[in-house]
Structure 1
Amino acid sequence: MDFAEWTAQWITFDHEQNNRSPEASPMFRKTFEAGANLLSARIYATALGIYELELNGERLNENKFLPGWTSYHKRLQTQTFNVTGLIQKGRNAIGITLADGWYKGRIGGHPNNFYGDQRAALLELYLVYEDGRQEIVITDDSWRCETGPIIMASIYDGETYDARLEKDGWSRSSYADHDWLPVSILDHSKQMLIPQENVPTRVMRELKPAGLLRTPTGEDILDFGQNMVGWVSFSLTAPEGTIIELAHAEVLDRDGNFYTDNLRSAKQTTRYVCRGSVNEYYEPRFSFQGFRYVKVTGYPGDMSLEAFTAHVIYSALDETGTFECSDELVNKLQSNIVWGQRGNFLDVPTDCPQRDERLGYTGDAQVFIRTAAFNMDVAAFFTKWLRDLKADQLPNGGVSNTVPDTLPGWDLHSAAGWGDAAVICPWTLYLCYGDKRLLEEQYGSMRSWVEFIRSLGEQEFLWNSGFQFGDWLALDAPAGSYAGATPKDFIATAFYAHSTDLLVRAAQVLGYVDDVARYTELRNRVIEHFNLEFVSKNGRLVSPTQTAHVLALSFGLVEDNVRARVEQSLIQLLEQSDHKLTTGFLGTPYLCSTLTDIGRTDLAYKLALSREFPSWLYSVEQGATTIWEHWDGQNADGSFWSADMNSFNHYAFGAIGDWFYRVVSGIDTDAESSGYKHTVIRPRPGEGLHYARASFQSMYGEILSLWRIEDGKMTIQITLPPNTTGTVFLPNTCQEEVTEGGDRLIEADGIRQVTAQEKDVRLELDSGSYQFQYAWRL
């Protein structure tokens, strides 16, 4: 429905006037008559807050946290429900329950009422009969309202539910609502209403407790064995008024006690007041927690693990990629990356799901998006999020550091590597899915971002002003700082050039010839000034950090002799650090790929397979089940890096997953034929692995790359889906030594061309499955 078609009114409930707790969730109900010979019945609904619908006693919401989180003042999604099978001839009833959600609840560093101070519901039910008649039931002042068992529901703080206040059958037509109160009409715009775009949030899996712990302080702790996002349901029989409390945490401290300091002000606590009946069951509905451990207090008698279930929620994304190899710690790391994505892809790509933050940080999203697109189908997920980015984009082209924007009016926006999500994310989605429509839709936003950078300060071709995060949480950060040692203007100017380069590529795809010329010239000027400002006459970078060298090389900012020197300097920096990384959020995602690009995949393997701190596998060895925000989130002795900035489910460093897919297994899309219409598969075996397998469910079907070194032989299996072609590189061999399915290459079906390329054999293949074998020697 277009917003102008709505005839319903926003209905709300005045808690203060009606002497009800302002935190309690309002319940709205309406009875109506339906005639015979009904052809179809459809509900259109949304809310200011989050809502659930019931019809004739049936809860309609398989999808959670409706209407989802968008830039509410500009974009508010509506949902459609086909309820034809639930409508009865005669009297019927609809029920709506509201909670604060992101709309009215506290979010980021803000108190309650960030988007608005009143929860409200909007609904239209269309009844269409076989004879063409149509009846409409709408929200208006004929509805009735009351509060019920949900005493409090908060995204950060949890939910309090008093079962003694339940109103059995309240959404049935037979329920007596004579003592319910009238609703109020809220004068609120409908111009921002849009049909649902998001991938809905659902319960995607369930976990039973892996064990029951008794801490040194005597607390009972359920261990679910996995850091996850969602809630815990339970059943019990207890006297009326018994209070059960569940507190949630990610980790235990060094002594094995329940640890919540890193949650900051988020309480993450569920409370249930028993009704006093047999086999009561409770499951939260309007809050979610990030946790592995649950402290249970007040539960009567001995706790049975069977009584508790963890419900894992996230956006219902299809999982499209798998990666495994001969190193079980790496396999666990891949699992941690995927679980981090599950926990943080909850309607928006959040930074973390547990503390008083849970925001759509643009920097985290852009560094992880390529890995995310391997693991899951994120096309629709990021399309919706990028539309909010564009909606919240400042008039001058600046981009908020969180989307939806939770920092309006602050000067802390448009940081390099964060605002660049406006360009990097659309381009990455185009590469992965081959859809020009989103690229075209976002192109104005992309160009506005580059022009915003261009307008800053007095030097048009350098970015040396405005707020910057820098290389966030890099290990070379000065004492007392979260930003790494790489100069912020160095990083900013590097991303200026990078975003301009991607803008040029987008303009080429879309056929914007004038923009191609204009922004090619801009990119060249930015690179020129980058070299004047940050490279000495002899080719030395002014910043002797790993991140500075990685960005200069990855973004193509240095050439010829200067590039050769920067490559050698990066190698020397790694040698000086005993092959330990020092990079943060902006350097780490490019580190291993850059080493591969300069011909030192061997060093990338050293970093990726290292068990010592700092490394990806260090956290795995410490028992991590998701990606940590800090390399040393928890030390080997059980102590913590810090209390105030220490998430244990923070996917940014999980961007290494892209390297496992694209380098170790070698699956990549051809930029000239995006969306895996033409796939490039170039596996690069390295010391420490003798087997790797990756699969990816592309828009055309499954792509497979598997290699195994065994008994002196290399076996490589490749699958290319129908209606695609591929370029495959067989490493360290020559044409005469390779067989496919037992036949010589010149005799094998599906091979269009065979050429030698340095130490590899390059093949042009038709779709199909292939198995190559040859003697392996380095």
Structure 2
Amino acid sequence: MRNYYLGIVLSCTIMNLPAAGQTLSVTGLRTEYQKNPMGIDAAAPRLSWKINSSERNVMQRAYQIRVGTDSAALLTGKSVVWDSGTQQSDASVFLRYAGSALQSNTRYYWQVKVKDNQDHESAWSAVNSWHTGLFNPAEWSAQWITSSMADTLVGPSPIFRKVFSTEGRVKSAMLYITAHGLYEAQLNGKRVGQDHLAPGWTSYEKRLLYQSYDVTGLLKNGQNAIGFTLGDGWYRGYLAFEGKRGFYGKHLSGLVQLVVEYTDGTKKVINSDQSWKYSTGPVRFSDLYNGEVYDAKYEKPGWSTVNYKDADWKNVQVIPAGKEALESSISPLARKHEEFSVVKLIKTPKGETVLDFGQNVVGWVSFKLSGKAGTYIQLEHGEVLDKAGNFYDANLRKAKQHVKYIFKGSGLESYEPHFTYQGFRYVKLTGNIAKIDPSSFKAIAVYSDMDPTGTFKTSNPLLNQLQHNIQWGQKGNFMDVPTDCPQRDERLGWTGDAQVFFRTAAFNMDVAGFFTKWMKDVASDQLANGSVPFVVPNVLGEGAAGSTGWGDVATIIPWNMYVAYGDQQILATQYPSMKSWVDFMTGKSKNDLWNTGFHFGDWLFYHPEDDNDGRAAITDKYLIAQAFYAHSTQLLINSAKVLGKKADEEKYTELLDRIKKAFLKEYITPNGRMVSGSQTAYVLALNFDMLPENLRQQAVDFLVTNIESYGNHLTTGFLGTPYLCHVLTRFGRTDVAYKLLLQETYPSWLYPVKMGATTIWERWDGIKPDGSFQTTGMNSFNHYAYGAIGDWMYRVMAGLDTDESAPGYKKIIISPQPGGKITHAAAQLETLYGLTVSDWKIENGVFKLKVVIPPNTTAKIKLPGAAGTMVTESGTALKNIKALGKISNQGNDIEFNAGSGTYQFEYAIKL
């Protein structure tokens, strides 16, 4: 470890500082999307980096990578296990390690230097590292241990411990750990890691993730103690909405392997086995839906330290390993993030004491309070207050969301939950606390540890709040899997919700690792006939599968991950699943028409309470199915082309032609009308190119007429909404898209904002204008699906978009489209190549656009309404800017290519 830290210090203080006049440097090193990851189980990890340069039009022309097992030696070019040599290439993402075979449980250090197209050469980058996990299942010598084979009911969380010794100078110590249930680990009285709700949720019967932690700093010379606590979690707790427990198993158990390496090269392994002991502690009940009961009098101070007396603890039982595959974590686990103070202490009309944290947040409440021994405080969590201002939790259905703390009476006591989480803004307090000090409580946001990547802001405060709500809907529902909602008795990985929101999600945060992990479970839970479950992990059974728009997650997310990150590996990994889903639809079709089976359709579309005039926006479910059948087939064709699968490309291209012909025959009248005249019907037909060219403009006119007939309101549900504004823009009606976006009355995106929402609602009218609620059976106030409008705001309104010919923002499109009396819109995105920006404003009739293009990328820039005007860049006429390509007119716009750098364009614009 000494060499590791020395190497990092030397690297940061010496090697990463550019020399005088140096214009080129390398930063942002990542291994499989992660910074210095632990437990990498890839045989050939992929390495990526970013380039910094003060000059314009910079492209990498060559790179050199070197890898070693000693950081200090690596800095001098010694003890190198792989040197790529100088490679003439502009590739700076996903470069595979190509040295000798990697060893398990080993830390590898690496750095890179580059040359650019302007004859500059960087210094070697700072040293980064990755640590390998356990490559071979046979390397697991630990045994599964449990507290008691009779422990099958709801009850206290078991705690386990073991004392061991070290017999020499420790070089490193790695802890590999997982559980059937949730775990929290401790070593010598200190918590291991920052992760919560570990090991996360996968299709446990097929694969289970383990985590890897460097615990070198927690070890002591001589005697040590290690321990862990277990909770029911997804494995044994309540799941879905029928009050069922124990979906994956009845017994909680843990698996622990601590590998200690001494400076002389010898190793010692401390395993979970029959030598461990167990007891129970203060967590008397824990459940993801129903909260936690914590009785402080059962605390066992110092239970994970050497000096704790455990004579009354019992011996554990060793149980056989399950059939599931043990795999290293590849995605970010849940961690604590933002904290919120109480903004208001409320006394409701019913006399309830309620804390308002000002934000609908997902996580838990921590507090520091005093109470007499045996007295308690209970926290009940809810998202909204009712019309009268009272606490409301009827929309939670059977979920309790209660946390109860029983005092031990030892002065100021601190607490936060362990194996549960809540979705809430308001907390009702009951119990024995006579006087409430709001400063004693904090709401802590807990979600998967994804780096924020994108920001978006405008001149319109309501749109800015909408963006805020979109982001917080994502944070609250990205809890190891993309859940539909975080509060009621559901919280499942609904596949339809995830696919419609993916593009928006990938702008807001780095979701690459998150979705790579979850898509493996999509493929794992896919049925033998290719049908995709409604939820993943699938806890609803084999019969809950095969709905259009939900099953298409198998094709839509892998393709869009490729577009957003340029990652061909996700396509290659998921390709069999993609193909299997398309083949399933083909198998269910007759004469190329898929008009069988159950489908959710355009879920939660507009349906007025008084529908005497037939204004419900009903779309034929089989029409939707045929459209998505075509879309998934097209994405499979795209993927086959990228992966070089020529035979599949030709086969499915022929199939697609037949699918579209069947659609026209079944759903289009001779006069060009669709049998369903809803907005969603026309949107899907246009977006997925189901109509021949000669019928498209007519369909656009029908769509616009429909929108106008509803007073410029949308009527779309989950499947039509994501594409609505994109279709309008594509066919020249961005003006109508702005009208929809800026509509403030129901149904619209801004109606919930005007009603005080701080997250995205499940329904357009979760709270009605009179303050009453939609049905308690399904009315979440934190449900991200309708937040998919964010994708249009970033890509069209601000104008920051991808180019599929060079995905992952290797080529960038900057094409802002102002409208709606918006005078400013800005999007910033931290791509795999660096920060890119499209930031425009209109001031006194002058359009000003700031563009940032990161090194090693290029952009196509389109300036709206600039044809025939004098355009300047940083005060210089456009034609004199060397970093720009040929300027051409595109209707009223002008278009040109640009190299990397920061640009400031200005010109007079006609509004």
- Specify the code of the residue in structure 1 equivalent to 2:636: L
| Equivalent residue in structure 1 for 2:238, among 106, 110, 128 | 106
Residue aligning to 1:376 = 509
Name the counterpart of 1:229: 362
1:322 to 1:58, Cα distance in 2 relative to 1, 3 A: same
43-52 or 764-773: bigger deviation: 764-773
Offset at residue 735 of structure 1 (A) = 5.0
Displacement of 1:299 in angstroms is 4.8
* Alignment pair present for 1:261 and 2:370: no
2:770 to 637, 640, 657: 637
2:193–2:213: 8 Å Cα contact kept in structure 1? Answer: no
Is 2:571 the partner of 1:439? yes
The alignment status of 1:64 with 2:233, answered yes or no, reads no
Matched, 1:466 2:600: no
Per-residue CA shift, 1:19-75, capped at 9, x if unaligned? x97421000111112112222221111000000101111111310011011111111
Q: Secondary structure at the match of 1:107?
A: coil
Work out whether 1:10 is the aligned partner of 2:10: no
Aligned positions of 1:666-705 closer than 5 A: 666-705=799-838
Matches within 5 A, 1:442-453: 442-453=574-585
Correspondent of 2:710 among 554, 568, 577: 577
Letter in 2 for 1:94: I
Q: Matches of 2:428 and 2:402 in 1, distance apart?
A: 9
The residue type paired with residue 12 of structure 1 is T
Taking the aligned partners of 2:443 and 2:818, their CA distance within structure 1 comes to: 39
CA contact (8 A) 2:617 2:678 kept: no
Does residue 594 of the first structure (1) align with residue 727 of the second (2)? yes
1:722 to 835, 855, 866: 855
Question: Residue type matched to 1:322 in 2?
Answer: T
Whether the aligned pair in 2 keeps the contact of 1:10 and 1:185 (CA below 8 Å) is yes
**Preserved CA contact (<8 Å) 1:473 1:630:** yes
Preserved contact between residue 9 and residue 140 of structure 1 (Cα < 8 Å): yes
**Aligned 8 A contact 2:500 2:719 in 1:** yes
| 1:475 is aligned to 2:606 | yes
Name the counterpart of 1:421: 553
Is 1:176 paired with 2:346?
no
Other structure's SS at 2:756 match? coil
| Matched letter for residue 463 of structure 1 | W
Residues 126 and 134 in structure 1, CA contact (< 8 A), matched pair in contact too: yes
- Aligned residue type for 1:13: S
Residues 620-642 of structure 1, C-alpha deviations (whole Å, 9 max, x = no match): 01000000000000012210011
Match of 1:494 among 627, 640, 663: 627
Q: Which residue of 1 aligns with 2:348?
A: 215
Query: CA shift at 1:655, angstroms?
Result: 0.3
Match of 1:202 in 2: 335
**Do structure 1's residue 622 and structure 2's residue 755 form an aligned pair?**
yes
From 203, 208, 216, the equivalent of 1:84 is 216
Q: Map 1:77-156 to 2 at 5 A.
A: 77-110=209-242, 111-156=244-289
Deviates more, 1:734-743 or 1:104-113: 734-743
Q: CA RMSD in A?
A: 1.5
Offset at residue 379 of structure 1 (A): 0.7
Letter in 1 for 2:434: G
Contact 2:742–2:820 (CA under 8 A) maintained in structure 1: no
How far did residue 688 of structure 1 move? 2.3
Report the more deviating stretch, 108-117 or 143-152. 108-117
Alpha-carbon distance in 1 for matches of 2:234, 2:593? 38
* Structure 1 counterpart SS, 2:827: strand
2:90 aligns with none
1:379-414 per-residue CA deviation (whole Å, 9 max, x = no partner) reads 1110000011011111111111111111123x2212
Of 326, 336, 348, the residue aligned with 2:469 is 336
Which position in structure 1 is the counterpart of 2:740?
607
| Inter-CA distance 495–478: structure 2 relative to 1 (3 Å threshold) | farther
| 1:741 matches 2:874 | yes
Distance in 2 between the 1:216 and 1:475 partners? 34
What secondary structure is seen at the aligned counterpart in 1 of 2:473? helix
Letter in 2 for 1:524: D
- The offset of 1:80, in angstroms, is 1.1
1:103 is matched by which residue type in structure 2? Y
Q: How far has the Cα of 1:301 moved from its partner?
A: 2.9
- Superposed displacement of residue 478, structure 1: 9.2
Q: Secondary structure at the match of 1:751?
A: coil
| CA deviation profile, 1:131-158 (whole Å, cap 9, x unmatched) | 2322211111111111111000000000
Q: Is the 8 A contact 2:294 2:404 kept in 1?
A: yes
1:186 shift after superposition: 1.8
Three-state SS of the structure 2 residue aligned to 1:292 is strand
CA contact (8 A) 2:149 2:251 kept: no
How many residues align? The count is: 773
Q: Give the aligned residue type for 1:82.
A: D
Which of 574, 583, 588 is equivalent to 1:456? 588
Q: Is 1:30 matched with 2:162? A: yes
1:476 positional shift? 3.7
Task: Show the 5 A alignment for 1:500-519.
Answer: 500-519=633-652
How far did residue 126 of structure 1 move? 1.3
Does the 8 Å contact 1:68/1:347 carry over to 2?
A: yes
Aligned counterpart for 1:563 among listed residues 650, 674, 696: 696
Residues of 2 paired with 1:252 and 1:332: CA distance?
20
- Deviations along 1:58-96, one digit per CA (max 9) or x if unpaired, are 111310011011111111001112112222222211111
Q: Structure 1, residues 263-311: CA drift from partner, whole Å, max 9, x if none?
A: 0000000000000011111111110000000001125232111100111
Structure-2 separation of matches of 1:233 and 1:15: 33
2:357, 2:249 → 1: CA distance? Answer: 36
- Matched AA of 2:200: G
Q: 1:633, 1:646 within 8 Å by CA — same for their partners in 2?
A: yes
CA contact (8 A) 2:867 2:891 kept: no
Amino acid at match of 2:552: D
Given residue 562 of structure 1, which amino acid in structure 2 is its aligned partner? L
CA contact (8 A) 1:314 1:345 kept: yes
The CA distance in 2 between the partners of 1:223 and 1:97, in whole Å, is 32
Report percent identity of matched pairs.
50
Could you tell me whether the CA contact under 8 Å between 1:454 and 1:460 is conserved in 2? no
Letter paired with 2:143: Q
Instruction: Kindly state the Cα deviation for residue 772 of structure 1 after the two structures are TM-superposed.
Output: 1.2
- Structure 1 unaligned runs (5+)? none
Change (3 A) 1:147 1:200: same
Structure 2 distance, partners of 1:385, 1:468, is 23
Confirm or deny: 8 A CA contact 2:869 2:908 kept in the other structure. Answer: no
- Taking structure 1 as the reference length, what is the TM-score of the superposition? 0.98
Decide whether aligned partners of structure 1 residues 334 and 299 sit closer, same or farther in structure 2, where only a CA change above 3 A counts: farther
Residue 734 to residue 609, structure 1, CA distance change in 2 (3 Å): same
> Any unmatched runs of 5+ in structure 2?
1-133
User: Distance in 2 between the 1:281 and 1:320 partners?
Assistant: 34
Q: CA deviation at 1:484?
A: 5.8
- Counterpart in the other structure of 2:535: 402
Query: What is the CA deviation profile of residues 469-508 of structure 1, one whole-angstrom value per residue up to 9, with x for unaligned ones?
Result: 0000001489999x96101100001000000001111111
Larger deviation, residues 185-194 vs 43-52: 185-194
The yes-or-no answer on 1:74 pairing with 2:74 is no
Task: Answer yes or no: is the 8 Å Cα contact 1:609–1:688 preserved in 2.
Answer: no
Distance 1:460 1:133, change over 3 A: farther
- Aligned equivalent of 1:189, options 303, 322, 335: 322
CA distance in 2, matches of 1:78, 1:403: 19
Q: Is the 8 A contact 1:46 1:121 kept in 2?
A: yes
